[in-house]
Structure 1
């Protein structure tokens, strides 16, 4: 799971010695992948996790030694199965490289700008250039050729735009004669739920806890409210047609239809079928959904019956099966990966 959104929510409240820990390179297998970040606050509190508990205590102690503006890379060998190794016998079969950065005022300001772009649904690439001793010498947040910010004092690599679809990690850049770390920060994926019943409430709660921005839409104000959906980012009450017209859909959006009413499901699908959406999940069998659309073959973006087939029963299990499918799809890139520098 990507914790940067949780980190950016609290980074606006200054702490004298906030330290950002980021996995920049993994050899073999590990609990988390490259690009995962954790914030270590002055009092030792942590937002996010980098491991199953193997590394965090050591990172907190190392963070106390960093001074403002300093950075340090630490290598953890998790391969050994004995209790003297990192991982205390976990046998993860991987080597994890973690970057620690003390957040100064300038870096905090740039992180706030990053949050502004992500909140507007705009992805941002980060590039960090390393010295021979693997401390950060320069960093650049790249949105496009006219929107860049950071502390970057060397030439800008030519194919930064391509990195938005590439795996995060460490690479040697010939034109800079140094190692650089690349990662693309993505906006929270948006889950739009039509219907405000019990199963929708469970799905909204679970989805919000796993990194989705949740919007709930329903024609019943008595159901579609903060009391029933405390974790939702947006609640829209109104007719289905009015609601669809209000929403600005994107190709990253996930939609789940849980109205449990044939006519309303039919109206919704007719309104949504031409939209460029990542996913449309429909409750009910394929035969029912085919009847809703009067289609013999369903479009590829429609998943029905919604969720993974795990024999789910009841609102909670059904919500888990749907969320499992959403997470699985979310991990797949929108486009094919491109060669790195």
Structure 2
């Protein structure tokens, strides 16, 4: 649901009733992961996707029915082979979808609205929803903040110790929020890991991961565009004020004039941050990479020829960088696409970042025996590198 938070927040602000279908379980080679959502409003408008097209029509109808009935339902969709008109996934996978109405008169409306407002505003928040268990609790929702505070309740039906249940769900959701993870967990219905179990889908929404591009060159402009497309908050940094301007990099979220190593020491990074060093000038590169390779970031790549790379390695070793630290450096940066233009080079760099993030090999899928969909973290943007997308 949170992957389409901006649209759904606008619908809430406009007072629209809608139903949202969310992928809650996946097996095989399904195209979308848990948390992917399709929503339909009372006028029939739709946003989002749960399958990339395979079962959208059937899920659309389920949303329309949920709006009319007010009931939350869970449906499964598996592989459809012989009948081309049958409802199913042609990719060979299977998904379970939870369809919940969000109407003005529903008690869960306020919780959904608060969760969507937080996610649309770039705030860190997690939503825990009951996706399997006692029928009376199906679809019940809890909004959990980073400090552990929560809005809503899972109490109802056969559950007597609702307060304990909410506390357990909130602790579980907060732990997943801390890691930017979206996925399903099982807890005991009484909140103490015993009794009738409940399955929760926890969707974590965190601020977008950072991409910091060092070097205000044409390649940086192309990389800023593709970084924004992938859901990163992009900063371009260069020590030269003539080149580091907002006019030259309109697609960057921020342009900073500072020495790269000094800026990196002062700014906040985390395990989802990617650092792209495009300066290929030793006076900038070496002090920057000495710092970068010792930070707990997701990716460090540096541009330059193979000769530049060998020279850079020697300088870094002289500066005290260890072999283990050097092994983290992706240089020359990017995958071998035969790229020449800034745009092609940016695509090469972005492809390597995605492959590194998702565990891909970077080899062509044609003739390969590698999985098409790897088990990785959520998409950049909302959950993100360890899960955006």
**Residue 177 of structure 1: aligned partner:** 196
Q: 1:311 aligns with which of 338, 342, 345?
A: 338
Shift of 1:36: 1.8
Q: Which whole-Å CA distance do the structure 2 matches of 1:39 and 1:232 have between them?
A: 31
1:11-160 matches, within 5 Å, as 13-41=13-41, 44-67=44-67, 70-87=71-88, 91-104=90-103, 105-106=109-110, 107-115=112-120, 119-120=122-123, 122=124, 124=126, 126-128=128-130, 130=132, 132-133=134-135, 136-143=138-145, 146-153=148-155, 154=162, 155-156=165-166, 157=168, 160=172
Deviations 1:4-56 (A, max 9, x none): 56557746643512333210012332111222233445554544332222222
| Count of residue pairs brought into register by the alignment | 328
Q: 2:229 aligns with which of 209, 226, 236?
A: 209
Shift of 1:62: 3.2
Return 18-27 or 215-224, whichever deviates more: 215-224
Return 316-325 or 227-236, whichever deviates more: 227-236
**Residue 289 of structure 1: aligned partner:** 312
Shift of 1:244: 2.6
Preserved CA contact (<8 Å) 1:218 1:237: yes
> Which ranges in structure 1 are unaligned for 5 or more consecutive residues?
335-341
Shift of 1:290: 0.5
Q: Which whole-Å CA distance do the structure 2 matches of 1:9 and 1:304 have between them?
A: 42
Deviations 1:232-275 (A, max 9, x none): 33222333355334421223211111123332122322343433
Q: Which whole-Å CA distance do the structure 1 matches of 2:355 and 2:5 have between them?
A: 20
Q: Tell me the C-alpha RMSD between the 2 structures.
A: 3.4
Q: TM-score, normalised by structure 1?
A: 0.79
Preserved CA contact (<8 Å) 2:277 2:285: yes
Q: Which whole-Å CA distance do the structure 2 matches of 1:76 and 1:267 have between them?
A: 54
Preserved CA contact (<8 Å) 1:30 1:94: yes
Structure 1 residues 67 and 226 mapped into 2: Cα distance closer, same or farther (>3 Å)? farther
> Which ranges in structure 2 are unaligned for 5 or more consecutive residues?
104-108, 156-161, 359-375, 379-389
More strand per residue: 1 or 2? 1
Q: What secondary structure is seen at the aligned counterpart in 1 of 2:354?
A: helix
Q: Which whole-Å CA distance do the structure 1 matches of 2:52 and 2:66 have between them?
A: 24
Q: Which whole-Å CA distance do the structure 2 matches of 1:95 and 1:4 have between them?
A: 22
Runs (4+) off by over 6 Å:
none
Shift of 1:138: 2.1
Shift of 1:297: 2.6
Preserved CA contact (<8 Å) 1:24 1:169: yes
**Residue 339 of structure 1: aligned partner:** none
Whether 1:275 aligns to 2:280 is no
Whether 1:237 aligns to 2:257 is yes
Q: TM-score, normalised by structure 2?
A: 0.71
Return 100-109 or 125-134, whichever deviates more: 125-134
Structure 1 residues 176 and 112 mapped into 2: Cα distance closer, same or farther (>3 Å)? farther
Shift of 1:296: 6.9
Return 39-48 or 241-250, whichever deviates more: 39-48
Larger radius of gyration: 2
